[in-house]
């Protein structure tokens, strides 16, 4: 899965469908969004969700920190890699999980929470260490953080996520240097 250039995919359509389990799955699959973030799932349903997303020729990413029933530790990365033959990416806030996924050649979205200038500096160090495919800055309504990360690490692809509720907020994130936004607002998926 790491072979496809996500930059090109996201430049064509910069909105990522973020679903909370099976409820919004069909809407996400039928949307224009090429990438689907699976935020809340459990071990009973995630296989069905990922396989359905793959069948729709979209790129699934499981949020490992929110996957109920499996501990969020590096061995889960091996499990996901084997289960889906490397075709499912992962989302995490944890550096050790992100590093394990990068080592196994999985796509990685490293989620960062920005609360102050110190957290931005710490996150920049972590991004440089891990080298994920994408970095999701939370909350996405703070384009200033996106801009600072892009200035420090120009070659990293940054996604704005969290509290994105309007088209204007999408545009602000993109204008600040973000490559895409993730949102649970279904009415924005076909924007």
Check residue 3 and give its pLDDT: 61
pLDDT in tens, 131-180: 999 999 998 778 989 999 999 999 999 999 988 989 999 999 999 999 99
- Using DSSP's 3-state secondary structure scheme, residue 51 falls into helix
Task: Say if CB 48 and CB 56 are below 8 A apart.
Answer: no
Q: 87 is written with which tokens?
A: 């075709």
Q: Which of 161, 186, 185 is nearest to 10 (CA)?
A: 161
Q: Which of 13, 53, 2 is nearest to 159 (CA)?
A: 13
Task: Say if CB 108 and CB 90 are below 8 A apart.
Answer: yes
pLDDT higher than 50, residue 1: no
pLDDT in tens, 93-140: 999 999 999 999 999 999 999 888 888 899 999 999 999 999 999 987
Task: Say if CB 133 and CB 92 are below 8 A apart.
Answer: no
CATH superfamily for domain 6-188: Aldolase class I (3.20.20.70)
Task: Say if CB 58 and CB 78 are below 8 A apart.
Answer: no
Q: 63 is written with which tokens?
A: 């949020």
Q: 173 is written with which tokens?
A: 């994130």
Residues in the chain: 191
**123 phi/psi in degrees, rounded to 5:** -65, -40
Which are the contacts of 118, defined by CB distance < 8 A and separation ≥ 6? Answer: none
Distance between CA atoms of residues 111 and 158, nearest Å: 10
Q: pLDDT above 90 covers what percent of the chain?
A: 79
- Using DSSP's 3-state secondary structure scheme, residue 71 falls into coil
pLDDT band, very low/low/confident/very high, at 2 (cuts 50, 70, 90): very low
Check residue 141 and give its pLDDT: 75
Q: How far is CA 99 from the centre of its chain?
A: 15
State the chain's mean pLDDT as an integer.
93
């Amino acid at each position: 899965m790491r072979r496809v250039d996500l930059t090109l995919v996201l430049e064509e359509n910069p909105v990522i469908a973020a679903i909370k389990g099976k409820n919004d799955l069909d809407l996400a699959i039928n949307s224009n969004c090429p990438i689907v973030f699976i935020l809340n799932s459990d071990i009973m349903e995630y296989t069905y969700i990922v396989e359905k997303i793959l069948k729709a020729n979209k790129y699934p990413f499981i949020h490992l920190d929110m996957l109920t029933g499996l501990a969020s530790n590096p061995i889960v990365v091996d499990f996901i890699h084997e289960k889906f033959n490397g075709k499912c990416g992962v989302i995490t806030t944890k550096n050790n999980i992100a590093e394990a996924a990068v080592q196994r050649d999985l796509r990685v979205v490293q989620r960062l929470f920005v609360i102050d200038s110190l957290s931005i500096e710490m996150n920049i160090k972590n991004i440089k260490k891990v080298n994920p495919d994408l970095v999701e800055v939370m909350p996405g309504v703070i384009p200033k953080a996106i801009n600072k990360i892009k200035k420090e690490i120009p070659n990293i692809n940054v996604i704005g996520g969290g509290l994105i509720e309007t088209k204007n907020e999408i545009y602000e994130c993109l204008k600040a240097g973000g490559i895409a936004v993730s949102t649970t607002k279904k009415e924005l998926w076909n924007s």
